[in-house]
């Protein structure tokens, strides 16, 4: 638990530092833009204050210094677009403070007023910008305040004596310098305190967002788990409905088979006796008589096969697996649907000889029966002009260690808005009483049960093709 907590704390720390780095770089670019535009804009004050409304040589020199500062700040702005800014931000960001402060000190010296110039107020503005525009730590803010105060101190040392003589006699030069320095120091303290508070607020805000994001992630995970459980419940419900239906069909078919097989056996015994009576007929009638007996016996055998198919299909054998013959499965399905298919739907079989798959025969009959029945129902809903016939094509082939079965019809296809929901339990487009919407859902579950896949290709108004893929043979451990 402690290791997990340590990982979470480390992830939190990295995320916070990454966000801070990104924001510091972004606000640094903004600060560079402010310096770039505001430094030349200060030439208006130079023009009014030192040029007294004239573009004097001094005003030109001060403008040149301002332009040089703006050009240098472009280089700092470009650095903020490189990886260096994110790795070594304090070194990249500090020139945003030092450059304008240094050039303002040069302007104060160049103007002749030196440290006694009222332009010292610009240094206060620079420190306020550190607190309001940039994302600076307390340590970095201390360095910035110290740098500005150091530059102003150097300006005081470089101020000529003549500059002090220009002051009113009531103002003592050192006292004026101390007063200016005091206001710079107060502004610096405000910047330090402001950044300290802002950093605390930003950290708390990020911590709250991190906790909210963690809760959202947890909620999304819970929702996904709930959706998965709901989907499983739907599948189980569909399987229970199908199992109950098959159990009822099994009981009914067992009773029907018993009731039908008894008279069928009686008929077969009498057919045997009738064959023996053939010798008592005139020779010219014997061939026709035997032909009639053979026809009756063929019909009886067909009835017995249908009953056997019904019992096999409805028998609840869900566990056993074997090599299932694709041809036998298709033959059983077509016998079940012979009434629906006769004279109305052309069935084309393209089956690879002796092809098998590893599954349960009853389940495979159930899957294929659903697909073919859906094709039959779809074909009834489409009109076929120009001599085209309703057609279902059932094909099979081997693809490596997989057996592929496809069922394709030339019906109306599946509309685009329904394709994502065709495997959902209880989803159906049929009229009430025509279907429960369980067919494809059950097929999907059976296919997955036998490590298979099911896919569909369709074009509205043209065709629909379902493809089934199953293991051709059992894994070595599956036969033991």
Q: What are phi and psi of 408, to 5 degrees?
A: -125, 135
| pLDDT at residue 342 in the model | 75
> Where residue 135 falls among pLDDT bands split at 50, 70, 90?
confident
Asked if residues 126 and 148 have their Cβ atoms less than 8 Å apart, the reply is yes
Cα 82 vs. chain centroid, distance in angstroms? 31
Could you read off the pLDDT of 79-96 as tens digits, one per residue?
888 888 877 777 888 889
More confident residue, 306 or 358: 358
Reduce the DSSP state of residue 388 to 3 states and report it: coil
pLDDT band, very low/low/confident/very high, at 70 (cuts 50, 70, 90): very high
Looking at domain 320-479, its CATH architecture is: 2-Layer Sandwich (3.30)
> What ranges in 394-471 are assigned the alpha helix state H?
439-449
Considering only residues 269 and 246, tell me which one the structure prediction assigns the higher pLDDT: 269
> Is the pLDDT higher at 473 or at 125?
125
Q: Is 152 helix (H, G, I), strand (E, B) or coil?
A: helix
Sheet of 346-350, strands arranged across: 346-350, 391-399, 402-409, 463-471, 453-459
Give residue 273's pLDDT. Answer: 76
C-alpha dist (Å) from residue 220 to 4, 227, 480? 20, 10, 43
> What is the model's pLDDT at position 435?
46
For residue 253, give both structure tokens: 């078919």
Span 199-212, average pLDDT? 88
What is the percentage of the chain residues whose pLDDT exceeds 70?
82
Spell out the domain ranges in the chain.
Answer: 2-220, 320-479
pLDDT, mean of residues 47-63: 85
Band of residue 437 on the pLDDT scale cut at 50, 70, 90: very low
Q: Is the pLDDT of residue 52 over 60?
A: yes
pLDDT at 436 over 50: no
Q: According to the per-residue pLDDT averaged within each range, which of 96-110, 127-141, 228-242, 461-475 is highest?
A: 96-110
Q: How confident is the model at residue 430 (pLDDT cuts 50, 70, 90)?
A: low
- Asked if residues 373 and 327 have their Cβ atoms less than 8 Å apart, the reply is no
What confidence score (pLDDT) does residue 258 get?
Answer: 60
* Cα–Cα distance for residue pair 394/402, rounded to 1 Å: 17
Is pLDDT above 60 for 477? no
**How many CB atoms sit inside 10 A of residue 307's CB?**
18
**Nearest in space to 329 (alpha carbons), one of 363, 365, 358:** 365
Q: In sequence order, what are the beta bridge partners of 350?
A: 395
Regarding predicted confidence, which is higher, 468 or 473? 468
**pLDDT level of residue 101 (50, 70, 90 thresholds):** very high
Over 90: is that where the pLDDT of 416 sits? no
Q: Cβ-count burial of 46 within 10 angstroms (0-12 exposed, 13-18 middle, 19+ buried)?
A: buried
pLDDT at position 465, please?
92
Q: What pLDDT does residue 150 have?
A: 93
Which has the higher per-residue pLDDT, 371 or 312? 371
Name the most confidently modeled range: 39-53, 144-158, 315-329.
144-158
Q: What are phi and psi of 307, to 5 degrees?
A: -65, -40
φ and ψ of 143, to 5 deg: -65, -40
Q: Please report which confidence band the pLDDT of residue 112 belongs to, taking 50, 70 and 90 as the band edges.
A: confident
Whole-angstrom Cα distance, residue 357 to residue 378?
A: 28
Packed helices 361-380 and 283-314: angle between N→C axes, nearest 10 degrees: 100
Count CB neighbours of 445 within 10 A. 19
CB 377 within 8 A of CB 425: no
């Amino acid at each position: 638990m402690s290791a997990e907590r340590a990982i979470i704390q480390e992830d939190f720390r990295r995320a916070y530092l990454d966000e801070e780095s990104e924001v510091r770089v972004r606000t640094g670019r903004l600060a560079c833009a402010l310096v770039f535009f505001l430094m030349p804009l200060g030439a208006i004050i130079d023009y009014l204050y030192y040029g007294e409304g004239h573009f004097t040589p001094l005003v030109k020199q001060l403008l040149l210094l301002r332009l040089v500062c703006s050009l240098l700040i472009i280089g700092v702005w470009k650095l903020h677009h490189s990886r260096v800014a994110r790795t070594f931000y304090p070194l990249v960001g500090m020139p945003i403070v030092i450059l304008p402060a240094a050039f303002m000190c040069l302007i104060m010296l160049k103007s002749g007023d030196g440290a006694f110039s009222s332009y010292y107020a610009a240094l206060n503005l620079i420190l306020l910008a550190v607190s309001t525009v940039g994302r600076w730590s307390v340590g970095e803010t201390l360095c910035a305040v110290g740098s500005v105060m150091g530059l102003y101190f150097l300006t005081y040392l470089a101020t000529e004596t003549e500059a002090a003589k220009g002051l009113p006699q009531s103002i003592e030069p050192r006292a004026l310098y101390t007063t200016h320095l005091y206001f710079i120091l107060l502004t610096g303290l405000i910047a330090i305190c402001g950044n300290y508070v802002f950093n605390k607020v930003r950290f708390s805000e990020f911590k709250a967002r991190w906790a909210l994001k963690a809760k959202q992630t947890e909620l999304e995970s819970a929702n996904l788990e709930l959706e998965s459980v709901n989907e499983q419940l739907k599948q189980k419900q569909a399987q229970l409905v199908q199992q109950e239906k098959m159990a009822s069909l099994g009981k009914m078919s067992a009773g029907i088979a018993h009731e039908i097989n008894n008279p069928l056996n009686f008929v077969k015994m009498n057919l045997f006796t009738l064959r023996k009576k053939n010798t008592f007929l005139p020779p010219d009638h014997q061939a026709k008589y035997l032909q009639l007996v053979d026809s009756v016996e063929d019909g009886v055998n067909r009835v017995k096969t249908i009953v056997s198919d019904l019992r096999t299909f409805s028998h609840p054998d869900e566990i056993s697996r074997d090599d299932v013959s694709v041809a036998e499965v298709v033959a059983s399905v077509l016998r079940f649907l012979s009434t629906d298919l006769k004279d109305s739907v052309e069935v084309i079989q393209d089956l690879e000889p002796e092809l098998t798959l590893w599954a349960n025969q009853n389940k495979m009959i159930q899957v294929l029966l659903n697909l073919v029945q859906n094709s039959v129902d779809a074909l009834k809903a489409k009109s076929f002009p120009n001599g085209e016939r309703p057609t279902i094509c059932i094909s099979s082939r081997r693809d490596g260690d997989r057996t592929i079965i496809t069922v394709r019809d030339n019906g109306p296809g599946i509309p685009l808005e329904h394709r994502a929901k065709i495997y959902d339990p209880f989803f159906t487009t049929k009229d009430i009483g025509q279907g429960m919407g369980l067919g494809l859902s059950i097929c999907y579950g059976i296919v997955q049960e036998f490590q298979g896949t099911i896919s569909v290709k369709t074009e509205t108004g043209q065709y629909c093709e379902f493809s089934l893929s199953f293991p051709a043979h059992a894994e070595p451990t599956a036969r033991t």
